Structure 1
Amino acid sequence: MDAWLIETMRHAGQIALDFFEGTFEVKTKPDGSPVTTADLAVDRFLREQLGQRYPEDCLLSEETEDDPRRSESRRVWIIDPIDGTSYFAARKPEFGVLAALVVDGIAEESVAYFPKMDILLASKRGEGAFVNGRRVRVSPVTGAQAKVACKPGPFQSLNTAPQVIKNNALEVFRVITGETEGCVVQTSPSTGEHDYAWASIAIEEAGGRMTDTNNEALRYNKPIRKMPPVLICSNRLVHDTILAGVRRLQSST
């Protein structure tokens, strides 16, 4: 694991936490989503730190203008200064600081830090996924015992989880750590690569899968940085079953 990246993300999380426990301003972006002074402060910090350490790499952030060099760069850092800004603005703890390194369109390492809960997930290709230093793996459960989380909506009938979390990042986190066996994520028009690059490598290193409804693995650093409308995350063992259910419901509407 990259100790420097882990420490940097902890520092970024502390910046967010200082605002969370103090004061901050909330504004509305052109797409209707909220942004706070904390988002911008964390964005500045991560840009400075990553820029100094990896000056040749490009950076893609939710909160700043796109870098025109990005399409030609093999290495791109994709960051979300505060994931779950609406939770942050409401002073709820379900927010995180996310960063992932993408090489040739594939996520290779990431850190997701949820500072109010003091949960840090670090993942790197070939090294595993670790939560607060403890290696985590997806659940081996399959069949009728599998817990699959689906929010209210078109795929709600697939839900078998006793509890569904509103924050998509934390729902994916539950699959990575083996608390649930799968989830179906419906993205919004404002959902971008910054929301899920961290999760792609984390779920793989924990032994699971995350795909679109074509059963294709997710690629990043695309010209248009939006995500597919539906994502499926699982422990691999129940992936085909969830995918079949999603396709069945899509075809019936």
Structure 2
Amino acid sequence: MSAAMDDAALAAHLAETAGRILLTVRDSGLFAGKALGKAGDQVANQFLIDALREQRPDDGVLSEESKDTPDRLTKSRVWIVDPLDGTREYGEGRADWAVHVALAIDGVARVGAVALPGLDVTLTSGAPVALQPANTPPKMLVSRTRPAAEAVFVAEKLGAELVPMGSAGAKAMAVVRGEADIYLHTGGQYEWDNCAPAAVAAAAGLHVSRADGSPLRYNNADTYLPDLLICRKELADEVLRFAAEYSPD
């Protein structure tokens, strides 16, 4: 591995390699259930952290599976990773789980790669995919286990078809790949859940924002980033308007 590899190529290589590691752990047959998820998280995280320290020693790192430190807050460049997004789906042998590797520069998701190892696909901000024609009616992604009431409300207003799916990365990449048109999430996330998907989606020309339309900002002291909208640009205004109309009462 050359130290001269650019950030986007590095992100893609790391995500793909971590994905292969996770498949190897799962295929080993040595773990099952929660133990499988825990083992996968730990092994993939150790690889990513060690590789980033070797390849980008001056950058900060934030990972779901590592103890956070304030050191990253002093850095302009911070890698934000989720070694295994969708632990449940991974443990169940499904394909809708992902590996996220992103680089935030001055709080903006500039570089990202999302590997979908179960599909043998990696999408990256360094090689944006061409958007496919929109679906008619539009398709809107929701959690396969607990669809958010706000997303269901917006889908009804739009006349959109609900598509249940697993991890955040899988949902976001389904929009990038043209399998769906809208991913609206309001149920709570952290920076590692959406930084890489946001970078990949933005590079592909999709609308990316908070659920109220404000920009996503990264490398915050508080890593909680509870809501997200990734959708086709021509649908963004309507989705944001209907989301603002929603009331839990």
Q: Do the two structures share a fold, i.e. TM-score over 0.5?
A: yes
Report deviation, 1:149.
3.3
Answer 1 or 2: higher relative contact order, Cα 8 Å, separation at least 6. 2
Show the counterpart of 2:201. Answer: 203
- Secondary structure at the counterpart of residue 207 of structure 1: coil
Matched, 1:220 2:244: no
CA 38–7 in structure 1, closer or farther in 2 if over 3 Å, else same: same
Q: Distance in 2 between matches of 1:217 and 1:140?
A: 24
* Structure number having the greater helix percentage: 2
CA 121–63 in structure 1, closer or farther in 2 if over 3 Å, else same: same
Matched, 1:193 2:158: no
Report deviation, 1:150.
4.2
Q: Distance in 1 between matches of 2:100 and 2:77?
A: 17
Q: Distance in 2 between matches of 1:150 and 1:60?
A: 26
Matched, 1:17 2:12: no
CA 123–158 in structure 1, closer or farther in 2 if over 3 Å, else same: same
CA contact (8 A) 2:168 2:193 kept: no
Could you tell me which amino acid in structure 2 is paired with residue 12 of structure 1? A
Could you tell me which amino acid in structure 2 is paired with residue 220 of structure 1? Y
Could you tell me which amino acid in structure 1 is paired with residue 186 of structure 2? Q
- Secondary structure at the counterpart of residue 246 of structure 2: helix
What TM-score results when the alignment is normalised by the length of structure 1?
Answer: 0.84
Report deviation, 1:248.
0.9
Matched, 1:243 2:236: no
Q: Distance in 2 between matches of 1:93 and 1:166?
A: 9
Show the counterpart of 2:13. Answer: 7
Matched, 1:154 2:149: yes
Deviations 1:10-53 (A, max 9, x none): 2211110011112236659xxxxx95111111111111111111
Show the counterpart of 1:132. Answer: none
Could you tell me which amino acid in structure 2 is paired with residue 13 of structure 1? G
Runs of 5+ unmatched residues, structure 1: 29-33, 130-134
Show the counterpart of 2:103. Answer: 101
Aligned residues: 234
Q: Distance in 2 between matches of 1:43 and 1:105?
A: 22
Q: Distance in 2 between matches of 1:11 and 1:37?
A: 16
State percent identity of aligned pairs: 24
- Secondary structure at the counterpart of residue 98 of structure 1: strand
Give 1:131-150 correspondences, 5 Å limit: 135-137=129-131, 139=133, 145-150=137-142
What TM-score results when the alignment is normalised by the length of structure 2?
Answer: 0.85
CA contact (8 A) 1:93 1:117 kept: yes
Could you tell me which amino acid in structure 2 is paired with residue 50 of structure 1? L
Could you tell me which amino acid in structure 2 is paired with residue 237 of structure 1? E
CA 41–65 in structure 1, closer or farther in 2 if over 3 Å, else same: same
Q: Distance in 1 between matches of 2:162 and 2:149?
A: 18
Runs of 5+ unmatched residues, structure 2: 1-5
Q: Distance in 1 between matches of 2:132 and 2:103?
A: 22
Matched, 1:233 2:233: no
Q: Distance in 1 between matches of 2:25 and 2:172?
A: 26
